[in-house]
Amino acid sequence: MPVREKFLSAVDLETVPLIRTRMLVIGCGIAGLSAALAASRRGPVALATKSAFMESNTTYAQGGIAAALAEDDRIELHVRDTLEAGAGLCDEAAVRLMAEEGRIRCRELVEMGTPFDRIDGDLAFTREGGHSRRRILHADGDATGRAITATLLDRVSRTPNIHTLENHFAIDLLHHDGACFGALFLDTNYGRLLRVEASATVVATGGLGQVFRETTNPAVATGDGCALCYRAGATLEDMEFVQFHPTTLYLAGAPRFLISEAVRGEGAHLVNQAGERFMRRYSKAGELSPRDVVSQSIFKELNRTGESYVSLDLRHIDPALIGKRFPNIMSVCAEYGLDIRRDPIPVRPAVHYMMGGVRTDLDAKTDIGNLYAAGEVACTGIHGANRLASNSLLEGLVFGHRAGLADAPESTPAFPVNRLERNMPPKGARLDVEDVSRSLKALTWRNLGVYRNGIHLLETVETLKAWMRYVLAEQFQMRPGFEVQNMLTVAMTIAESALGRAESRGAHQRSDYPETSPDWARHSLTAIDKDAP
């Protein structure tokens, strides 16, 4: 598979402005901010993000962050719930570490002043699908991610040795002989390149929902981190496990706005267009089943009825509670003429989260020297085949912190720029990037959705191969071109991993292999073929 070495070989890196630092953190969600704050205790940090600092998947997280902090809760229960949701593929050691350290990290968020909601002065908890206890901390009702991001960013802004790089897109990692030396950035503020060399690099770039047509993810979630690490030689794990959020707003002209899991946690019913509750037909736990089960059940119901959506019904819930817990959801729905206190919300599943990602150990270390990954871009083994609701922010918080504490050489090694050839500057793109992006999203939504089969997966792999032969060879100069290359790269790893897993498990459902097989109670691993032309 072609890689972006052609771009690097066309750039005289010795002429590119250079920053050297102890640690480089790429990404500004909960994992990246946590990593930067932890690393700042040990030396200078460069914190880079491709867009504005408030623009990340974390910011859009509504439901909350899970932690066994309530009096009736225990770490063992949180571990058990996570393992059950993960359909046999969770790493129990990683799950236990997250649950234990997560309580400590969440208490730190409280001490920082994160405005978590309270009842009579005590922290308020809600419950979501798959959880046996009310353990979800939330803020501003349904704006938890935004509140956490603002709190961490405030702390970052007051930390002198964190140097921030806003609107800096990571084109590629600088790597040589199995080690990472930092990254090459496109500074979109001024349209120029910047080289950041670092003793250790943390990739915390978030998810890849924009690879699909229907997603809850913001426009920045184009899978950049997975593609960066893959091209550098890191191993990707379990890329077939893409989680669909079961309830996103389904209205003509409206974005696929996420309707939080917490809405069902507070008692909302899923009904078909005849007003009938249907979840018990497919799962004993009804509306509080794990996300993969609810998404699959909705599609089964849609196939049974011939309808295009189902609805969330909150009309039996106290209107005052709805207004207090879900002000953001209520406001957005009101923009489209819905009063969720008396109108059912039309919903259907959309891509929400990647359980797989860059393979790491319990210290967030990849199999590339000096390279770490944390948050949604990483695969720690916590989520297995299906993520338990509100574990994502917790994982990013815990493993971002651990990545920030990583050991690094005392002095920043210099990237061996002299090994690169000196060619002409990159050409302008001849491709219609928007057209490629639309075609990719349509293909993945059609063939890599909630239900998959071998014929369509093979078609997807072959189609992607044909597109990649010319798209990855193109030498772009602008962020959209680089992003579409990244999207194609991660789409291929998803398709190949899904084709290889001949079973149904968690979020990966094969209509031609409908059963879960004990032979597949193992992880899928993907790495670049270094001998490919």
pLDDT digits (tens, 9 = 90+) for 38-56: 999 999 999 999 999 888 8
Of 51, 43, 12, 357, give the one whose Cα is nearest residue 184: 12
Amino acid 60: pLDDT:
84
Dist CA 241 CA 253 (whole Å): 29
CATH (one of 3.90.700.10, 3.40.1190.20, 3.40.640.10, 3.40.50.2300) for 248-350: 3.90.700.10
For the segment 95-129, what is each residue's pLDDT rounded down to a tens digit?
999 999 999 999 999 999 999 999 999 999 998 88
Q: Taking 50 as the threshold, does the pLDDT of residue 424 lie above it?
A: no
To 10 degrees, the CA torsion angle through 274, 279, 284, 287?
-120
Using alpha carbons, list the distances in angstroms from residue 75 to 99, 107, 111, 424.
Answer: 6, 15, 21, 58
Q: Which helix (H) or strand (E) holds 39?
A: helix 30-39
CATH (one of 3.40.50.300, 3.30.565.10, 3.50.50.60, 3.40.1160.10) for 5-241+355-404: 3.50.50.60
The CATH code of the domain at 425-517 is 1.20.58.100
- Domain extents in the chain: 5-241+355-404, 248-350, 425-517
Catalogue the active-site residues.
291
Amino acid 104: pLDDT:
97
Rounded average pLDDT over 126-138: 91
For the segment 337-396, what is each residue's pLDDT rounded down to a tens digit?
999 999 999 999 999 999 999 999 999 999 999 999 999 999 999 999 999 989 999 999
Q: Taking 70 as the threshold, does the pLDDT of residue 1 lie above it?
A: no
For the segment 471-483, what is each residue's pLDDT rounded down to a tens digit?
888 878 889 999 9
Rounded average pLDDT over 482-510: 97
Dist CA 243 CA 71 (whole Å): 31
Give the residue carrying structure tokens 């014929």: 455
DSSP annotation of 345: E
Q: Taking 70 as the threshold, does the pLDDT of residue 460 lie above it?
A: yes
Higher-confidence position of 14 and 7: 14
Q: With contact defined as beta carbons under 8 Å apart, do 528 and 489 qualify? A: no
pTM for this one? 0.92
Instruction: State the burial class of residue 428 (Cβ atoms within 10 Å of its Cβ: 0-12, 13-18, 19+).
Output: exposed
For the segment 75-86, what is each residue's pLDDT rounded down to a tens digit?
999 999 999 999
Instruction: State the burial class of residue 362 (Cβ atoms within 10 Å of its Cβ: 0-12, 13-18, 19+).
Output: middle
**Please, which residues bridge with residue 183 across strands?**
173, 196
353: left (phi over 0), alpha (psi -120 to 50) or beta: beta
3-state secondary structure of 458: helix
